[in-house]
Amino acid sequence: MRKLYFSTLFLGSVVLLVSHNVSGVSVEKYLTLTASQKTTLDKFRQKVEPMLYANYMKQDTYLIQWIRARNFDINSAEQMLRENLKWRKNNGIDNMRKEDWSDLVHELPLWLGTYDKTGRPIGVFEVNLWDIRGIILQGRGPRALRYVMNLVENITGQVYERQEKFGMNVTQIVILANADGFNVIQHGCPVCLPFWIQFIQLIESHYPEVLDEFIIINATPAIQVVLEAIRPFLSKNNRDGIKVFGPNKAKWMPYLDAKISKEERRERYGGTKPPIEY
Ligand SMILES: *[C@@H]1O[C@H](CO)[C@@H](O)[C@H](O)[C@H]1NC(C)=O
Ligand SMILES: *[C@@H]1O[C@H](CO)[C@@H](O)[C@H](O)[C@H]1NC(C)=O
């Protein structure tokens, strides 16, 4: 039964593997509120202000995320933010970036220091380098998950840094993945799926509205197995943010060119940025 399910997915996935042309929400749209939404934001701010202990949390752009994620229902947005702050405290999220990650940094490489044309930080990774299955079978799944959350903290931290230090209108992040070499055994295995689902649940609970786009290039039909499995756990916003391109360069190149300059992309992504040095 399970086998049948997967092969049906494989067949269906070929059809799904077309590029979507919906562009991400612009900064202007992100920041634009109607008068009544602005009133809601002001009320929300009054309610939650005493809890906000970091400067970035006091920004409109930060507060809007919770309200948007809860459809402008202040009470439910407050609940969500409250749970997030509790999670941050109980898990030492604020200090996670200072922990020693040298055991995972080369096993799960994510390249930082890349920005799209509007200044959004981009995390870039090569799916085939991430041996999630191997790590989980070694019993290091929880640690790997914490490491990945540390990467999320880094990228979202760059957003706040750009706002505070450079006054930039940056509110969201981009993830760019090269899925060349993706295989179901190593990346979509039965023990890998719970890892990704847990990851998504953390993102949905604690980083709402943060993702502009998750762009996958060189996707094989097999990646749809994972995407289909995680789809029910994604908010509409994040679902719409996933852009999947097959190996046809003629399809993904113009899309990336429009969004990220060639100087910011490495060769495998059709750019001219010098290779990574380790
Ligand atoms: C940021 O965006 C807002 C809303 O679109 C605009 O009013 C403001 O001038 C922008 N600031 C910068 C530094 O670009
Ligand atoms: C993100 O990580 C890079 C590389 O480790 C580091 O140089 C940078 O300061 C970090 N940025 C933030 C905002 O944590």
- Give the burial class of 77: count Cβ atoms within 10 A of its Cβ; 0-12 exposed, 13-18 middle, 19 or more buried: buried
pLDDT reported for residue 212: 95
- Total Cβ atoms within 10 A of residue 239: 14
pLDDT, one tens digit per residue, over 209-223 is 999 999 999 998 888
Q: From the CB of 26, is ligand 1 less than 6 Å away? A: no
- Taking the CA of residue 239 as centre, how many other CA atoms within 13 Å lie in the half-sphere pointing to its CB? 9
Bridge partner residues of 173 (DSSP): 211
pLDDT of residue 189: 80
Distance, CA of 245 to CA of 33 (rounded, Å): 33
The 8-class DSSP code of residue 108 comes to S
Sequence-distant contacts of 192-199: CB under 8 A, at least 24 apart: 192/132, 192/133, 192/136, 192/226, 193/226, 193/229, 193/230, 195/132, 195/136, 195/141, 195/144, 195/145, 196/226, 196/229, 196/230, 197/229, 197/230, 197/233, 198/145, 199/145, 199/148, 199/149
pLDDT tens-digit map of 140-161: 999 999 999 999 999 999 999 9
| Ligand 2 and 157: CB distance under 6 A | yes
Class of domain 2-19+93-265: alpha beta
CA dihedral 226, 236, 125, 11 (to 10 degrees): 30
Which pLDDT tens digit goes with each residue over 180-189? 988 777 767 8
- The answer to whether 94 touches 253, Cβ cutoff 8 Å, is no
In the prediction, which pLDDT does 253 show? 97
Q: Is the CB of 31 under 6 A from ligand 1?
A: yes
Decide if 256 contacts 269 (C-beta within 8 A): yes
Q: Is the CB of 154 under 6 A from ligand 1?
A: no
Under 8 Å between Cβ of 197 and 230: yes
Q: What percent of the chain has pLDDT over 70?
A: 87
User: For residues 48 and 44, what is the distance between their CA atoms, to the nearest angstrom?
Assistant: 6
Ligand with smallest separation from the Cα of 100: 2
- The SS3 of residue 18 is coil
